[in-house]
Structure 1
């Protein structure tokens, strides 16, 4: 294929499932880190509102970090397991149909390309050539938008989700434990809201949305969560409940 007939792509545009898959993983990582930041920050700030003692804050924060990471990993494992099981079942069904009814499957593939706007002659030729090259891949792509090589491992998804959550949770833990007691809450508020602004903007950049709008939304939600838990902790501490 020479330069005149070779396909040209813009360098700043993703082409292919591998790029889309990487962007999805990155987006999931950002969201997981964001959850870790907000969840653990709300816990430690709430406890700090009730007591200045480091022990209870550390204990509550560590419990929130471990519990949140396990919960995120378990939820991701169950979700991805269900999705991958469904995809595998569809792949096996398509493989069986191709073995038992090849002519009907070829007609079905031709009809799919007719529906996309190709002429009958072109649709038939495309269907025949794709079937000759890799019939299963052709049907999975055209009918189900599935790539047999892109089925995500539930274990990988669970591990990535847990790591993302822990990565985000470490920030509020350090912010609440390292400064002197008299400034630990303001420092945590500032560090967490700055981190949320960055993750919100990064998530919007990945998705092609407005970075400023996304950052404001995430920061507003995080500030509300921190303020609510701090006020609750303060009230409980003042009344002697804890």
Structure 2
């Protein structure tokens, strides 16, 4: 495998080839308005969804009182996600465990997919991370309005003291609409793209060091990428739970207690 440059958006980026690159078609031909390279994150995301759906169905169809290895692993993961969500969201955690847990597992799998030869991490594409951030944004606003009502949520954005509203309200709006979605999407995108790019560069250097003898000089970066992928999925889930809990008012209740 060798690193190659793609210019699907007019620029160039260092990437390893995916299995879609071996489909015999013009790289600039379009399918439903998208080039083959632009389809890569969509196809990879769909594969993760299909894999997680099938795995969940097969792993949970015969649950037992005395769990086997797979059931024990699933119970361990679910328990860990429950404890994680409860530590961030307090009394409302139970109804958000599926949402936050799905975010973590989905992003974790997308991050890890790039470590498999001929596959790419969908989260190394900004469109994917922006879509994930927008889901968190709309979920946060919906839960805030549902919990406090429209006027109560606007009052929450004004903050205290009220006489500072002309300053705090615009700042809060900018934070909700621009700062948080931007930081969520750019942090995940930048870290995963950086990891994948460095690995691709190291693999590209390998043939020049010992001729045609494959030298896995990228292995240390792979282990770092595995750690980084886990941390980034955890940070995204952590911030998502923090934003939703803040919109509902959980943090305000904790301060009063």
TM-score if structure 2 supplies the norm length? Answer: 0.28
Relative contact order, higher structure (CA 8 A, sep 6+):
1
TM-score if structure 1 supplies the norm length? Answer: 0.30
Identify, as 1 or 2, the structure richer in helix. 1
Higher Cα Rg: structure 1 or 2? 1
